[in-house]
Amino acid sequence: MTIESDAPSSGPEGGATMRLEIARLGSQGDGVAERPDGGAVFVPFALPGERVQAVVSGERGELATIEQASPDRVAPLCRHFTRCGGCAMQHLATVPYAAWKRQLVVEAFNQRGIAADVAPLVSVGTSTRRRAALSTRATKNGIVLGFHESRGTTVVDLAECPVLTPRLAAMLPALRGLLSSLPRFEGEARVRVLEADNGYSVAIDDALAGRKADADLVSRLAIAARAIPGLVRLAIDGDVIYQSATPTIAMGRASVTPPPDVFLQAAKAAEDALARIVVEALPKKVSRVVDLFAGVGAFTFHLAERARVLALDSDAGALEALSRAARNAQGLKPIEVRHRDLFREPFSRKELEGFDAAVIDPPRAGAKAQSEMLAKSKVPLVVAVSCNPATLARDARILIDGGYRLGRVTPVDQFVFSDHVEVVAVFKREK
């Protein structure tokens, strides 16, 4: 028996205190204790091999005490850990942590009946995240700015953050001062921060309750923005109201100016690792590549060092940034940009003719319709990049059933200490 119940005691939602033997880690990083009846209890921040006391309600357990700690338990880096929902795994040592993240990918493919050759986790280290979407509230005690608490809606006011770049983390107090220049806002607003190569870009949404910023507010915010060292652009609800320079990000041989609301890979080191894996998968002789869900060109510009590239995406702002960067870049093969919603209108089998390779990097929902078109095509090589192993495995099943052979699968730890993992999978068409 793996669970022993002590005398019931009061706890969250009327739970009872129980002694649990933690058997394994779940997909979200929770310690999992097995019930004699075949069920399970999920206990956040507990590790395999530990004996713990937890307040249990249904399948959820809240860690109370650790009677026997795992040798893999380490001291967390951040004072906010266990309360802030930004991290789930600061308490696990490096080697078992990497093994757990790799296993998430293995299990996702196993569930689709695919025995994948999964490489060791590629680590980019801590303090590497160059962008973040923070939440903020205006309270009687001042501005609260941070991530939501673990499994809750309260915003944890961050005093530090070991996953952000040091300069971005050091900017938090200045951001609170900037937010204080806004009219007192009700509810919760969003703050998206980006550390570009030449400064910071900040975008604030939902703080004005749908109202447009008047001239007085724009002037006040511009003065506050100018006082923050390194802040080059400030946008409110999509409108740029202050810009001292154009924020730029190097992507291969190009320099991209991302719009305030555009998607970017969270960590520069992870983006570089993903691009390297993608390019290394190309054959020695390659002349044409299609980049599906290209965004602002994280892979496009690296691919264009080897071949002509057709880049497609539904985000017109991202494609404009890509086109502008391509016009100013030197030493690249031709890049063609095409606006297209690949969910509603996937690139067809006929359109895919003549391409030596396809690179596909869809959102978390994956790209079922586009994968079906690729499966019907004759494209020799498909390189799939995904932030969701489950939907990647689903799309991989489609490609394999269409005649592709799955090669190496490489997980990249872009979102350190979380249960998210980026993955690159290489598919070659069987001759």
Residue 368 CB burial class (10 angstroms; 0-12, 13-18, ≥19): middle
Catalytic position from the list 78, 87, 161, 387: 387
3-class DSSP assignment, residue 378: coil
DSSP string, 109-126: HHTTT---EEPPPEE--S
Residues 6+ apart with CB under 8 A from 55: 9, 11, 12, 15, 16, 17, 18, 61, 62, 64
Burial of 158 (0-12, 13-18, 19+ CB in 10 A): buried
Say whether 84 is catalytic. no
Distance CA 381, CA 287 (A): 13
Backbone angles phi and psi of 184, in degrees to 5: -55, 120
Residue 125: phi, psi to the nearest 5?
85, 175
For the chain, what is the radius of gyration of the CA atoms?
24
CB distance 277 to 303 below 8 Å:
no
Secondary structure class of 95 (helix, strand, coil): helix
- φ and ψ of 322, to 5 deg: -65, -45
The label of the residue with tokens 């994280």 reads 298
Task: Look at residues 162, 33, 175 and name the one whose alpha carbon lies nearest to residue 87.
Answer: 162
Q: Measuring CA to CA, how many Å separate 50 from each of 23, 135, 249, 399?
A: 8, 34, 45, 41
Longest dimension (CA), the chain: 72
Tokens of 58: 């249904």
Name the burial class of residue 241, with classes exposed (0-12), middle (13-18) and buried (19+) by CB atoms within 10 angstroms of its CB: middle
- Residue 413's φ and ψ, nearest 5 degrees, are -85, 70
Extract the tokens encoding 373.
Answer: 């078109």
How many angstroms separate the CA atoms of 278 and 65, rounded? 45
Q: What is the dihedral of CA 112, 118, 124, 129, to 10 degrees?
A: -10
Q: Enter the tokens of residue 189.
A: 């607003």
Q: Which residues are catalytic?
A: 387
